Amino acid sequence: MLKQAVILVGGLGTRLGEITRLVPKPLLEVAGKPFLDYILDELSRYPAIQDIVLLAGHQAGQVIGRYDGKRWRGASISVISEPGPLGTGGALKHAAPQLDARFLLLNGDSFFDFNMFDLTAPVHPRAIVRVALKRDHAGDRYGRVLLDQDFIKTFLPAGARPNGPINSGIYCVDRDVLSFIDEGPCSLEQAVFPRLAEKGQLRATMYDGFFIDIGVPADFERAQTELPARVRRSAVFFDRDGVLNIDKAYVHKVEDFEWVAGAREAIKLCNDRGYLTFVVTNQAGVARGYYGIEAIHALHDWMSADLARIGAHIDEFQYCPYHEEGVVAEWRQASDRRKPAPGMILDCLKGWPVRKESSLLVGDMSHDLQAAAAAGIKGHLFEGGDLLSFIRPLLDADATSQLTRG
């Protein structure tokens, strides 16, 4: 499972003029916080991403001072400073000792709202680089990408066409790319990608979704209002036992776990539609002494790995190990996180940019729906069957409602 993301934050940002002379472009403030924070927040939605590497150049000391050695939700951040201007390819080669066999690579001056784990899902034949394309992005300041099925054949310069897919600056990369990077300054886009395309090692997937690049003044100003609004999302809360997996009573071992039909696909649909996706599960088996906290974490880690195989993820797992009738003293108490109390849902609402009015919960018990009501979101009772077939019309109805409101 892919665990590393690398972000290129070394560019000079000359088109923005004086404001980037003393501040790295990705650290420019958008609505009160550095643009890079929005990218890190987005990466933090993928619990599997545990290692984030920032490749710094211009004003690298500011990047080091703000981010090096810090944690961003579950991920640790490190900064590698290039000794001189190396270009995007050179910066990557300079970081070679710290690179995993496979990693996400992102430009630090653009934001693209799509399911990044879909880009990491296995495809055959495999290519050294998979590129996320923004579909039909209008405007003349971007180059266009020409495809043969899902293989990139060539790149057209800016202004060559008024519309069509563009390179979003997000890639799933195999470490083998390093063998295509020359020593010294080198550009991935201009020197490496054309060579990969010639060898059939540059594949692409097109996505819809909000995209913005802050490289010119007009788009930097537009980001001030549009980006904060876009990162506030609707959420789907899933109960676990009986909704995502067959309820066999106190499931806590991988060998006992069985996905409900359509459950993984339902989660991926939520991811692809841009919803925050949470699990909120009572785990009284801990208080009753059947298993420990570590068993919950191990099972949820396995679920994340299994979901990653199809390009899906859970943004956060919330669980409550307490029960007032427990036999383990540490966990024997009432808790406002135990459903039907809304604590787990409220913690997600507090910790993430959730659009509460269009969020929903799917549960299989009345106490799930009571928790949803207490938190002020809609609850839906799942009584078995295919979870994908159950969730799709709910999301379709929400999309129609948002179009009507908008």
pLDDT tens for 355-371 read 999 999 999 999 999 99
Domain extent listing, the chain: 4-230, 235-405
Asked whether the beta carbons of 269 and 391 are under 8 A apart, the reply is: yes
Residue 205: CB atoms within 10 A of its CB come to: 17
Q: Choose, from 118, 241, 315, 368, the residue flagged as catalytic.
A: 241
pLDDT tens digits along 292-309: 999 999 999 999 999 999
Annotation says 239 is catalytic: yes
Read off the pLDDT of each residue in 181-194 and give the average, rounded to a whole number: 92
User: Burial letters for 117-129: b for 16+ Cβ neighbours within 10 Å, e otherwise?
Assistant: bbbbbeeeeebbb
Rounded to two decimals, the pTM is 0.94
Binned at pLDDT 50, 70 and 90, residue 54 comes out as: very high
Q: Choose, from 109, 219, 239, 272, the residue flagged as catalytic.
A: 239
46: its two tokens: 């993928």
Read off the pLDDT of each residue in 240-268 and give the average, rounded to a whole number: 98
Asked whether the beta carbons of 336 and 343 are under 8 A apart, the reply is: yes
Alpha carbon distance 123, 125 (integer Å): 6
Question: Which fold, 235-405?
Answer: Rossmann fold (3.40.50)
CATH superfamily of 4-230: Spore Coat Polysaccharide Biosynthesis Protein SpsA; Chain A (3.90.550.10)
pLDDT at position 11 is: 82
Contacts for 18 with CB less than 8 Å, ≥ 6 apart: none
Average pLDDT, the chain: 95
Alpha carbon distance 308, 314 (integer Å): 10
pLDDT at position 160 is: 81
Read off the pLDDT of each residue in 9-24 and give the average, rounded to a whole number: 86
Annotation says 336 is catalytic: no
Contacts for 148 with CB less than 8 Å, ≥ 6 apart: none
pLDDT at position 183 is: 84
Which residue in the block uniquely carries the two structure tokens 């969730």?
391
Binned at pLDDT 50, 70 and 90, residue 350 comes out as: very high
pLDDT at position 66 is: 97
Which of 6, 16, 5, 41 lies closest to 219 in space, CA to CA? 16
